[in-house]
Amino acid sequence: MSLELARGELLRHENFIDGKWIAASGNASYVVTNPATQARLAQVANSAAADARAATDAASRALPAWRDTLPRERAAMLNRWHALILANTEDLARLMSLEQGKPLAEARGEVAYGASYVAWFAEEATKIYGDIIPQTQHGKRMMAIKEPIGVVAAITPWNFPLAMIARKIAPALAAGCTVVAKPAEDTPLTALALAALAQEAGLPDGVLNMISAARDEGIAAVADWLADDRVRKITFTGSTAVGKHLARESAGTLKKLSLELGGNAPFIVFADADLEAAVQGLMLAKFRNGGQTCVCPNRIYVHDSVYERFGELLAKRVSALHVGPATDAKAQIGPMINERAIDKIAKHVDDAVANGARVLAGGKRLSELGLNYYAPTVLADANDAMVLCCEETFGPVAPLFRFTDEDEVIRIANDTPFGLAAYFYTNDVRRIDRVARKLETGIVGINEGAVASEAAPFGGVKESGYGREGSKYGLDDYLSIKYLCQGGLG
Ligand code: SIN
């Protein structure tokens, strides 16, 4: 598969600032590579603080006019963008597969998933209501109105190059905010193509600005946004360590933050669960995007009485997964994003085996396919001495822990600083209510492994962050409430 697109103009190498495509300061650039082959894909702008500043200048200039547009005008703009994203699915999916590694079918699915947030927030734009507060004194009227928060900085990860940036930009634009955005260093091409489509949809200059950057320069660029009081909000998806850094560094200008951070999701299979359904749910939740998802189950707790049977069923399904590059039409699992990722996966599996894990499937690198491939893996006899019990593996590894008691498994499931997603399978209705309430996470899958939806609130508790993306709640993070008190009324 090559970078030849049906519409070659969607392959962008420069920054998008104030409606223009411009090189980074000093013409700096860096190389984006294909994780399947390590081959060079493209050379893109390597932006630094000056470019971040130029993006903020443009977003600040554009804010007053965009803020004053009618919600229906913003909705119409988002709907045009949505239609263009869908119309260019093949090119976007191809860019995404090449720079991120996910199989083409999955990349097409992500285009539809990301676009669904744009359509959703087009509708939400027209529902930004305020309140007239019941009177407490004669002659006075009190009102609460909602206003866009201002310039928003969106910083996104590599695992979903389209969906993560779409679900930040769409609510920001719907609310009347302007945006400066930086996609992950490994995967800027899909995001830049999205910006090109927003421009084609007719988005006014400066309303959306996007810069790409390699790691160190990206840190400097983001530091500029953190210190700039014109940027009123940061929305970030990525690691907890970086999220904490952003919270600390933005304290100087007290920005509003939405942080969608790491997880360590438990997946619990009770003795009365439908085992076939639980295996199917786990396949969806764990192996989507090769296990590189923050809501992926990281610790699978299976009741002792069904443990061996569940392990057998799962290992059979996992061994049948087809691994290969996006060019392979049969591929269900692609390469991991880079060498750091594959080294971490190998380290977790080796450590688990050294601590007594039994390999039921996989358990090795697939060097014959390339540097970044790891076999989908099932490990039995996992225990809490293993690194993978407390660190997110972010790869196609399913470790099975054994449990016997409901209270005990809930305690262990919650025994982590993280709280993004949890899943459980049971056919007992009373247990459903009990367990769902006790799990300390922002998202709970009950007899269901596919939880993400544009209509649902996505986000965590504890060190998995705060703020919600998608749903009717997703717009609130981009709005502030203003209280109006009118006196002198008759
Ligand atoms: C993520 O991994 O950050 C998001 C996954 C999703 O939208 O399901």
What gap in Å lies between CA 317 and CA 333, rounded to an integer?
Answer: 13
What gap in Å lies between CA 448 and CA 292, rounded to an integer?
Answer: 19
- Give the residue, out of 120, 296, 458, 464, with the most ligand 1 atoms within 8 A of its beta carbon, to mutate for a pocket test: 458
pLDDT at 4: 87
Please give the helix or strand (H or E) that residue 449 lies within, else none: none
Residues in the chain: 490
CATH T-level topology, domain 8-261+464-483? Aldehyde Dehydrogenase; Chain A, domain 1 (3.40.605)
Question: What are the strands of the beta sheet with 131-133, ordered from one edge?
Answer: 131-133, 141-148, 479-486
Q: What is the domain partition of the chain in residue ranges?
A: 8-261+464-483, 265-454
Residue 68: DSSP 8-state: T
User: Strand locations in 243-331, DSSP E?
Assistant: 256-260, 265-269, 297-303
Atom 7 of ligand 1, nearest CA residue: 452
Q: How far, in Å, is the centroid of ligand 1 from the Cα of 218?
A: 22
Take residue 265 and report the two structure tokens written for it: 């999701």
Divide the 490 residues of the chain into consecutive groups of 10 and give the mean pLDDT of each group: 88 98 98 96 97 98 98 98 98 97 97 98 98 96 98 98 98 98 98 98 98 96 97 98 97 97 97 98 98 97 98 98 94 96 98 98 97 98 96 97 98 98 98 98 98 98 98 97 96
Q: Residue 317 to residues 39, 267, 313: CA-CA distances in angstroms?
A: 32, 17, 7
Q: Is 260 a catalytic residue?
A: yes
pLDDT at 490: 83
Please state the φ and ψ torsions of residue 44, each to the nearest 5 degrees.
-120, 170
Residue 160 near ligand 1, beta carbon < 6 Å: yes
pLDDT at 2: 73
Domain 8-261+464-483 and domain 265-454 have a common topology: no
What gap in Å lies between CA 23 and CA 290, rounded to an integer?
Answer: 34
Contact in structure between 243 and 399 (CB atoms under 8 Å): no
Q: How far, in Å, is the centroid of ligand 1 from the Cα of 450?
A: 11
Residue corresponding to tokens 């009347």: 176
What gap in Å lies between CA 341 and CA 393, rounded to an integer?
Answer: 9
pLDDT at 3: 77
- Give the residue, out of 120, 155, 159, 160, with the most ligand 1 atoms within 8 A of its beta carbon, to mutate for a pocket test: 160
pLDDT at 406: 98
**In this structure, which amino acid lies at residue 480?**
S
Annotated catalytic residue: which of 260, 392, 463, 469? 260
Residue 382 near ligand 1, beta carbon < 6 Å: no
How crowded is the C-beta side of 453, counted as CA atoms within 13 Å?
10
Q: Residue 193 to residues 95, 158, 162, 221: CA-CA distances in angstroms?
A: 9, 15, 9, 21
Residue 237 near ligand 1, beta carbon < 6 Å: yes
Q: How far, in Å, is the centroid of ligand 1 from the Cα of 488?
A: 51
What gap in Å lies between CA 152 and CA 173, rounded to an integer?
Answer: 9
Within 42-157, residue ranges assigned H as helices are 49-67, 71-87, 89-100, 104-125
Contact in structure between 296 and 159 (CB atoms under 8 Å): no
Closest CA to 160 of 291, 289, 15: 289
Contact in structure between 46 and 212 (CB atoms under 8 Å): yes
Is domain 265-454 classified as CATH 3.40.309.10? yes
Residues 6+ apart with CB under 8 A from 228: 53, 56, 253
Contact in structure between 118 and 85 (CB atoms under 8 Å): yes
What gap in Å lies between CA 182 and CA 244, rounded to an integer?
Answer: 18
Closest CA to 452 of 435, 432, 468: 468
Residue 294 near ligand 1, beta carbon < 6 Å: yes
Contact in structure between 391 and 418 (CB atoms under 8 Å): no
What gap in Å lies between CA 239 and CA 115, rounded to an integer?
Answer: 24
Please give the helix or strand (H or E) that residue 321 lies within, else none: none
Paired sense of beta strands 418-419 and 461-462, if any: antiparallel
Would you call 16 helix, strand, or coil by DSSP?
strand
